Amino acid sequence: MARIFIFVAAFLSAAVMTRVAVADPPTREPVPITPSTFTVSGACSFDVQFDVLVNGEVAKTFTNGEMIITGRLVVRLTNLSNPSKSIVVQINGPEIEPPDATAFYTSGSSLIFFPGILLTHGPVATTSDSITQTSASSVDLCAVLADP
């Protein structure tokens, strides 16, 4: 009886492994940010220039439509009313976008625009009308970039 159990377990394991092995691999594409310099208006009491300094982000898209964005992204934010006030931040994510694209989820470091500009660290869920931080910290970059 034990031999039959071992045979059935081995057969089921092989069937599952075969299914995983023949699944289509995800596509991998770089994530361009164009233009690499742009202005964000309305997030802070002043306009903020956003400059991409390093973009090594890659999007992995799975056959079910889920997308995971990873890779190094370094940006500089500058207060256009006082250009001496700027900050360079590394925002590597990762970011996960489910197939229905009604929300996205980040962990690690990310920038969230509106309200304000937040540099978040840790899990964040964002939908079109809400931002939910779970065990995350955030820094208000509008306050960091504001005139003293």
Average pLDDT over residues 82-100: 92
What is the structure's pLDDT at 74? 97
Write the pLDDT tens digit of every residue in 30-54. Answer: 999 989 999 999 999 999 999 999 9
Rg (CA), the chain: 21
| pTM passes above 0.85 | no
Model pLDDT, residue 76: 98
Q: Nearest-CA neighbor of 74 among 86, 60, 59, 57?
A: 57
Separation CA 19–CA 8 (nearest Å): 17
Task: Please state the domain extents for the chain.
Answer: 26-145
Using H for helix, E for strand and C for coil, what is the string for the chain?
A: CHHHHHHHHHHHHHHHHHHHHHCCCCEEEECCCCCCEEEECCCCCCCEEEEEEEECCEEEECCCCCEEEECCEEEEEEECCCCCCEEEEECCEEEEECCCCCEEEEEEEEEEECCCEEEEECCEEEECCCEEECCCEEEEHHHHHCCC
Q: Contact, 66 vs 59, CB < 8 A?
A: no
What are 58-84's pLDDT values in tens digits? Answer: 999 999 999 999 999 999 999 999 999
